[in-house]
Amino acid sequence: MYEGLGLKGAQQRDMVVEAVIDQIIEEARTGEIGDGKIFLVPVSDVIRVCTGEHGGKAERMVGGQSDVSTAA
């Protein structure tokens, strides 16, 4: 999804990741033991099960953020 976008794409990806992490923490934190942990792991590929598509084609969701951005 962000391949070939260079530094700007990496920065955008990092901002999205941080926003998601912040939201999860805000919603899940009670201050008690057992609130949970967030694991960030590299993903080498994505496969859409119903079509068998790999990579960027499988990653894209109709009506997703990229569609919203281009419609504006």
pTM of the entire structure? Answer: 0.50
**Are 2 and 12 in contact, with CB atoms under 8 Å apart?**
yes
At which residue do the structure tokens 């901002």 appear?
A: 15
Q: Model confidence over 22-63: pLDDT tens digits? A: 999 999 999 999 999 999 888 889 999 999 999 888 877 766
d(CA 2, CA 11): 10
Q: How many CB atoms lie within 10 A of CB 55?
A: 13
Residue 58 phi/psi, 5-degree rounding, is: -75, -30
Residue 64 CA to residue 48 CA, distance in Å, equals 15
